[in-house]
Chain A
């Protein structure tokens, strides 16, 4: 069981916005939350770090936020290429990294 809880799946139509939540269960979701996108058979790609920052080259359709013990990833203007698995992670006070269970995004 992951220390971070994500919905198993989220879907949306092209052009819509969707939000994926990431809630701490037995750990705090601090300020060091990252989000990763993973296509089948590929390595994950960092899309958000430190809750709401985008690395260079990542589309501004991806945005992150946090409220209390829940972090969220929002994908605006959903496109077919956004269909993938998404994982949140949180860095703990003991310098360990925990991942959420992952969310499969389906573009209808």
Chain B
């Protein structure tokens, strides 16, 4: 059974930091792009960041570039998102996600999603 389980969400003040983690079971990660995707309360989906299978190439949305860092550990089947300089507008449910297809263009579609972890940025 495929499971992606996020942790690390919570309440943080503007300007603060938080680190999200995602643990995988029942699914291979090593050949696949991994992503973080967020959804603000009552709003649509917003892609946050991608990381290539080897962890050597990363991509970020303009809204988080310079503040967030995505990383992965294939041996531990885990994905992380370090979030610094958090803003009120970063408040959202953050989903860990694995690409549907392996390879360099695999990040184009997402098959496996975690249940999400809520990050609330508020003073």
Q: Is A101 an interface residue (CB 8 A)?
A: yes
Question: Smallest CB–CB gap between A95 and chain B, Å?
Answer: 5
Q: Is the CB of B105 within 8 A of A91?
A: yes
Contact yes or no, A97 B105, CB < 8 A: no
**Which label, helix, strand, loop or mixed, suits the secondary structure of the A interface?**
strand
**Are the CB atoms of B109 and A101 closer together than 8 Å?**
no
Residues of B within 8 A of A43 (CB): 95, 113-116
CA distance A2 to B59 in the complex (A): 18
Interface residues on A, range: 20 to 34
Give 1 or 0 for each of A53-66: 1 = CB within 8 Å of chain B CB. Answer: 00100000000000
B46 within 8 A of A: yes
A2 touches B44 (CB 8 A): yes
Complex CA–CA separation, A101 to B42 (angstroms): 11
Chain B nearest Cβ from A6, distance in angstroms: 9
Q: Once bound together, how far apart are the Cα atoms of A95 and B37, in whole Å?
A: 14
Flag if A91 contacts B107 (CB, 8 Å).
Answer: yes
The A-contacting residues of B in range 28-57, CB under 8 angstroms, are 35, 37, 44-47, 50, 57
* Interface residues of A, Cβ cutoff 8 Å to B: 2, 32, 34, 36, 38, 43-46, 49-50, 55, 85, 87, 89, 91, 94-102
Can you report 9 residue pairs joining A to B where beta carbons are below 8 Å apart?
Answer: A44-B45, A46-B109, A50-B108, A55-B111, A91-B107, A95-B50, A95-B107, A99-B44, A102-B44
